[in-house]
Amino acid sequence: METNKSKVRLLLVDILDQPIKGLQVEIRSADRVWHRASTNASGVLEFTSAQGRDLVVHVEHWVTKQMKPVAKFFAGLDDMAIKLVSPKIKTKVAAEPAGAPGLYLRGTYVVKKGDTLSRIAKAYDIGVDYLAKINEIQNKDALSIGQILKVPPVKNRSTQPQPHAKPVGTPPHSAIDAKKAPTTTTGQSTTPRNQTNVEGKPVMTLPSEQSAVIFPFSVKPLNEPGGSFSWNDWRKIHSPNAACFGATRKRQGGGIRRHAGRDLYAVDLTEVYSIAAGIVLRVSPFYCATDQVSIRHTTTDGREFIVRYGELDPKSIRLKKGDRVAQGEVIGKTGILRDGSGKKIVVTRNKNVSMLHFELFSGKAGLDNADNLSAGGEYSRRSDLVDPLAILQEGYLNTFKEGAPSLAKADAGERKPATSLRLSEAGEAFIKDYEKLRLAYYEDHLGYCTVGWGHLTGGKTSCASQNIKIGTSITKEAAQELFEEDRRKHENIVKRAITAPLLQHEFDALCSLAFNIGDLIRKAPNLCRKVNALQYSEAAVEFLDITNNGNKGLTIRRQQENAMFLRANYDSTH
């Protein structure tokens, strides 16, 4: 049961960075509405939810008045301040009586000979994609001399295009004036310099067109649902695995320490990108024949912190101390962990895998020196070490234009009575992948006669007692008929146990569990009770406890059924 709380302060502004007041907002998870209210005069909404939740921000559409999902985030911190930028302007602006077409409150720029879209974007501290979007430019390489572009806001309207210069007013995605800046729910300022919450963790700014941070890979990590190392999911919180922040590790020379970062698995020599602009503070050897690069980052929305990019291939690093790096610049490539003899080291399940070891330091202990990041304590790191999950989640969303897998996924339709559902094709494929097809009769580990996709012939009895010769084969068509018989049986087990409405993927996950353990009422009473009490997220946690005292195979299956139940993820890799 979740007990920790996330206190959240949400600031909503329009594209001109003006607070959106009086906007109806709902904060939802998959199973409930956590908060419903309107933003105050400062465009701020405060609420509290259980920590570890995937939450979706819904706002009222200004025309239809329907609630529309606009952003997703993960409530993984005790105290969070989030800024959400709307690409639209709610406030009506009076038209200029004799204004020429193409001149806007946000300012304009006339394209000159030699201009490129990237050069103009850089001059105004905005992203190329954002500049192209507000000007409806399809081909970013095709500008015309004399073309008028909309650029970030200026204090007053002008009848003359703006020159190449920093805009006078506040760019749409920079930090707002300190007097108007929101604070965390405990009253701490979230103004731009070293913007952190009470735990020293960077404040997340949800992205619009311009990204404050990006993900350090251009491809998704291998250790997330759907990846070939999904069991070491980099996003876990309450039950950390080897790739997660806080996981238990052995110290060299004896003793225990905690994992100081999050590991993102990748194919060997995958390029690693700078998540934001910054300056290199240190390049040095790291673990097991790899190097590290420590960078002091300053984001476009004013946050400052240090990131240590660890376990990089030494030959791939071209940076040195003092170098300035741009967002998206290649820092190096993921290295290969080797022992002193040059032999590859086993990382997980008898496999070696290349990775980025990503550490985050809030800067409370200093932003100018990265020579002291390795220190004492349970993490063997400097005192301002923090969990980098929020930053990585933010970058993931910006880079892949979708929430990181732990972020809330919109439900496909409404929940329906369990009695009206049947196992989907995806659910059937998941179960079959685990049960495996065997066309010859055999006896399982308990001595029960079995054939097809785990079908027990004659119940829990041996083959000999049924006059069946072990090794005798049936056709695949016959095996499918037996599976249909088992499908109906286990669907009915779920329907007898569950009185609450279900989404399709929730029903499929329960069917998979029933295929594996049988009677849910008797063998998973807590899970059934929580589902029937509409506590869907809490019920999902119960899957993880049904592992026959930590059986490795069952642990993996339960984790995957948990992911199916929560996020419609049908990954059966094992």
Q: How many CB atoms lie within 10 A of CB 168?
A: 13
The amino acid sitting at 244 is: C
The amino acid sitting at 451 is: V
- Residues 223/247, Cβ–Cβ less than 8 Å: no
Task: Say whether 129 is catalytic.
Answer: no
Taking alpha carbons only, the member of 429, 433, 475, 428 closest to residue 451 is 475
CA distance 106 to 89: 12
Q: Alpha carbon of 467 to those of 17, 457, 458, 483: distances in Å?
A: 79, 11, 11, 22
Identify the active-site residue in 96, 378, 444, 481: 444
Q: Which neighbouring-strand residues pair with 307?
A: 295, 360
CA distance 523 to 505: 21
Task: Say whether 444 is catalytic.
Answer: yes
**Cβ within 8 Å of residue 468, ≥6 positions away:** 441, 449, 457
CA distance 127 to 262: 28
The amino acid sitting at 51 is: Q
- Residues 120/114, Cβ–Cβ less than 8 Å: no
The amino acid sitting at 78 is: D
CA distance 252 to 312: 21
Task: Give the SS3 label for residue 390.
Answer: helix
Q: Alpha carbon of 223 to those of 267, 301, 342, 550: distances in Å?
A: 11, 30, 25, 21
CA distance 203 to 192: 10
Identify the active-site residue in 387, 435, 486, 542: 435
For residue 4, report the phi and psi dihedrals to the nearest 5 degrees. Answer: -70, 150
CA distance 33 to 55: 9
- Classify burial at 513, counting beta carbons within 10 Å of its beta carbon; exposed 0-12, middle 13-18, buried 19 or more: buried
Q: Which neighbouring-strand residues pair with 298?
A: 304
CA distance 110 to 135: 12
> With the C-alpha atoms ordered 379, 384, 389, 392, is the resulting torsion angle positive or negative?
negative
Helix or strand holding residue 385 (H, E):
strand 385-386
- Residues 44/23, Cβ–Cβ less than 8 Å: no
Task: Give the SS3 label for residue 120.
Answer: helix
Tokens 């906007």 sit at which residue?
Answer: 23
Taking alpha carbons only, the member of 359, 381, 220 closest to residue 297 is 359
Q: Which residues are catalytic?
A: 435, 444
